[in-house]
Structure 1
Amino acid sequence: MLLLSSPPDRHSPVEDLIGFLSGTVLVAVSVQFLQAAGLITGQIAGLSLIVAYMGGWSFGMVFFVLNLPFYAFALARMGWRFTLKTFLAVALLSVITDLLSRFTTLEVTHPAVAALAAGILASAGLVILFRHGASLGGVGIMALYLQDRAGIRAGLVQLVFDLGVLVLALFLFPLTVVVWSFAGAALLNIVIALNHRRDRYIAK
């Protein structure tokens, strides 16, 4: 099909659209699992969940606002194409998570289930977005930059930052919540570290 045709190192607009929808829906569902169990995660998403829990605001709104300062770094270091795609992905995730919160209800009887499901779903969604030349902002921008320029795995960079978020969470949440949240975040970043390498996937 003409709309799906593209050179090996580029995605067509239709491929990007499908990739963005697939990636953001997977991450949005992972957020539903976290919220159903009262868990958090790392990166800006984790900070957004903490702020949303504490202030009673929607995750989507907080996530969108906290990502705004990172676009200047993205534009300077990663270029306008990556920055625009990341902005669109963040906006799309913000809208989808709020819509899912209104129209779906998840019941989780053990936090381990939520941690496992959230880690796998979010990592799959992020890998899809990374391979379409986007991220979900925040630390993901720096992680991709360091992977492309210094060869440091993006998942490992994110895991280091996640540890900082979860240390903060120790002062705000019960220990069991933090432990299961760390398990989910660690799984997420291990899957990304194992599955996203620029030398294995060159398309943008």
Structure 2
Amino acid sequence: MSESILSLENLSKSYQVGEDEQAVLKAINLEIKKGEFISVLGPSGSGKSTLMNIVGLLDEPTAGQYFLSGKKVDHLDESELAGIRNKEIGFIFQQFQLLHRLNALQNVELPLIYTGIAAKERRKRAEEMLIRVGLEEKLRNLPNQLSGGQQQRVAIARALVTEPSILLADEPTGALDQKTGQQIMMLFRELHEEGKTIIMITHDMEVAKNSSRILHILDGELSEVKPS
């Protein structure tokens, strides 16, 4: 049995709206094993972005506990959170979030600068990751010289380069046409087969079907979608 890499226990999140308290996540319980590919499926306003922000250590729960790789992480200080984010979590966003003045190689190198890795080793690892995602001929291209699908591959390489415990993808095909989105999902399936742990946020059931396990979130409550 694979070991647990992420565990949420009775996790809740609420915000103060005027004099009222608005519950966004309600007593979420979730365990993810190492090497799983999970989709969290839900419409806009369902709580999935809040859940992603907490899993990504960009927000804190109001109540409950969050364990990542066996360590309780829900109320660490900002410097500790930043260190864990940089080493343990690879982020992939809908809008790619590339720096437009940097070429593909420099964009992928960026997270390694913050971990103090020497320039020669950074370059080597960034090149390896870009080759892995099929961009060996685009190393020196700026983002505006790449298609949307190629930009997302650069973003995936950047997420992989720190060898994180978890890849956290927020609507990774949302800005792509259907064919390009399918190619990116093929890459995700390959990464899963290589043993990567992936958590993907999506509103699209067809995209979610690429994962090995689908969770549904609605009105802040999480449930499992049983295979049909």
Q: TM-score, normalised by structure 2?
A: 0.27
Which structure features the higher share of helix residues?
A: 1
Q: TM-score, normalised by structure 1?
A: 0.29
Which structure features the higher share of strand residues?
A: 2
Higher relative contact order (CA 8 A, sep 6+): 1
Work out which of the two has the higher radius of gyration on C-alpha atoms and give 1 or 2: 2
